[in-house]
Structure 1
């Protein structure tokens, strides 16, 4: 029995030595240049999706703004992706819009519009006139976080921008800005508070003279976060953004936090507002008369890490009041 075990042990050792020798021989013959590396994850590496714009004439073409990874494009409804923003100075993007009159012109607002401590900031607004192949910085360099870009449906030279402004400091470029020369020059049309910026912006699809804006009073330090204040409000303009009036009948009287806005495609007199209140409470409010008065519909508030990240609303293009 002992001799059998010893014989088996010797045989096993010999076989193992032969395998090692063979493995060494094979490794010398392998050409590693034939191998190509590919990214296998993690899937969340690029961070949050900040915004999506879909081509008006080809719904297989999407532009996606990513909070920490620039702008991407797909031409096959998401099967494959092309990076468009890797050569720009800012890696963080907050919004993307397509010119309704010229779908080759793409606008991107840099800097993600959230209140988290690890948010990336940007260096202004960018325009591409060749479907995202090349970009030009069009100003608002001190905005740091751009929330929304709206291009006039009939006039490509008129653009409105909601700029939230710096998170960690006061000042910068905050509020709603308007350009009437294709972005060469900008005029602040709403906002004069060093801590309050514009976090959302809507346009009435029937009448581009009518706009709605939500402002947000927010600030962060190393030790604390102020997610709301007296500067937070909803405004309406009926002259293309030149003048604004606060619309607050029926809205909470206390300090409000981040606000998300939506307008009904079926009946644009109906406007919705998701409003953050004290201690992460809040609710969904609805106006049936263009912001003249508001009714609270529910206590719904954005979940996850809180409204300072995901306080956004979208009205269904297919069914009213959804």
Structure 2
């Protein structure tokens, strides 16, 4: 910190004695060079993942800057997606849990709206050195990727679709068992509703949750942020118990009316019985796989979605189902299963809005968080 102090001191002297400064020989400054001393802010992070078994290796996706990688646990980052010239908006990144060389990227950022349109899925088999396009070109915005914990070729993709799309291949849950060579759509609602989130527990890979999200604007209306609360625009929760092949809707049992963006988490070590769900309406928990629900910390309005769902997230520790994190304009943490929360990271006055979190399935203390 000595060099910055000298620079500040020199500036103060120049301001205080302007006439003297003007008389100095310019050659005296020839050895001075500009360097960045902060603040170091890189903009919003839209996706995050890490390599299991490689403590320093993480990946992040950005709304308009491609994919970046660190091998030093975040000390330095370098771009790895610049060879792809057609798209730079990233919606999801997932490293295969059983093979750290296999990395999947879904393009199109949820929160970039019209500017965040992608052109499908990409895959790297060499830890991000090279990439190839693997389909789903019409999806425009991909929100989640789940790679099977033991098979890097079995992949589920949540496609939200664009605001003006009506074709059926733009939205839904897509499944591949050959590393993206072929895709089968296994869940589809309608031509205006896509999938906003997917969730599974690493130790129960056949149990998967999917949350829908209405994503449509009538041409010429300009209606974007407000949609009427109807049966079509309402958010729905679906569950699969066969790895995403078939789905059934989950409703009732104390679950509130679901609206807009929601986030999901399934706790490891509970046989996929402990589920957390969060939205603008608050945090709900199920201890029986989604049959019954109860609201947690109902009086704490801080922990629900923030900014109309712009900040939304619920994540659960991979070793302790009672440690749960939620996103508002600050990240919050509970150590008692969601009964009470304390501020964890970010928030006012710095304006660091939490966006994404990745928790190592094998180590609940190894966490990567992405902010705006």
Same fold, TM exceeding 0.5?
Answer: yes
In structure 2, what is the equivalent of residue 306 of structure 1? 308
Q: Secondary structure at the match of 2:259?
A: coil
In structure 2, what is the equivalent of residue 202 of structure 1? 199
Question: Is 1:244 equivalent to 2:241 in the alignment?
Answer: no
Structure possessing the higher radius of gyration over alpha carbons: 1
Counterpart CA distance in 2 for 1:286 and 1:304 is 19
Q: 1:27-84 deviations in whole A, cap 9, x for unaligned?
A: 9x969xx97x86667744x532122212101111111112222111111111111111
Give matches, 1:283-302, under 5 Å.
Answer: 283-299=282-298, 300=301, 302=304
In structure 2, what is the equivalent of residue 274 of structure 1? 278
Question: Is 1:107 equivalent to 2:104 in the alignment?
Answer: yes
In structure 1, what is the equivalent of residue 172 of structure 2? 175
Counterpart CA distance in 2 for 1:315 and 1:226 is 31
- The TM-score with structure 2 as length reference comes to 0.71
Question: Is 1:126 equivalent to 2:122 in the alignment?
Answer: yes
Structure 1 unaligned residues grouped into runs of 5+: 1-14, 277-281
- CA shift in 2, pair 1:302/1:41, >3 Å: farther
- CA shift in 2, pair 1:166/1:206, >3 Å: same
In structure 2, what is the equivalent of residue 8 of structure 1? none
Counterpart CA distance in 2 for 1:304 and 1:284 is 12
Give matches, 1:125-204, under 5 Å.
Answer: 125-171=121-167, 173-204=170-201
Structure 2 unaligned residues grouped into runs of 5+: 1-18, 324-372
Q: Secondary structure at the match of 2:314?
A: coil
**Equivalent pair of 2:200/2:265 in contact (CA under 8 Å):** no
Aligned residue among 248, 260, 264 for 1:261? 264
- Paired residues, what number? 293
**Equivalent pair of 1:108/1:127 in contact (CA under 8 Å):** yes
Q: Which has the higher contact order (CA 8 A, sep 6+)?
A: 2
In structure 2, what is the equivalent of residue 222 of structure 1? 222
Q: 1:227-266 deviations in whole A, cap 9, x for unaligned?
A: 6753511111112211100011235564511110001123
